[in-house]
A = this chain, B = another copy of it.
């Protein structure tokens, strides 16, 4: 890895914060372009690969699926309409909010059930009862 601007997969992994296996996986599914290779067959990445990979990682952190990220990357390359991007992002925001609502419902139900447990110290368990019974 002497020098030049080329990065080995290990270096790319460290700089991008994306696991090596995951990088190869992204290549396999066509999300990250296959880089040139050394004579021995090792992958040699450029700064553009790094940028793209960071883009993917940030997208994942925001909860976009890989397919959505693929679309976003497509919009980056062509002349994007900002409106398209915004539409995708808003749809995704709705998804996230729906998931939050689901989890909050779970949280409420579970907390309520557990609370009943603390009230009475009897032998029957209200948590199991709630799951089994009514």
Contacts and interface: CB of A to CB of B under 8 A. Distances in A.
Most buried by B among A118, A123, A127: A127
B85 A128 contact: yes
Interface in A81-129: 82, 85-86, 89-90, 92-93, 96-97, 99-100, 103-104, 106-107, 109-111, 113-114, 117-118, 123-125, 127-128
Interface stretch (A1-9, A17-25, A37-45, A72-80): A72-80
Interface residues of A, number: 42
User: How many copies of this protein are present in the complex?
Assistant: 2
A58 interface: yes
A61 interface: yes
A47 interface: no
Interface of A: 51, 54-55, 58-59, 61-63, 72, 75-76, 80, 82, 85-86, 89-90, 92-93, 96-97, 99-100, 103-104, 106-107, 109-111, 113-114, 117-118, 123-125, 127-128, 130-132
- Which 4 A/B pairs are nearest by Cβ-Cβ distance? A82-B125, A63-B106, A58-B131, A100-B103
8 contacts: A51-B132, A58-B130, A62-B131, A86-B117, A86-B125, A89-B110, A93-B107, A93-B111
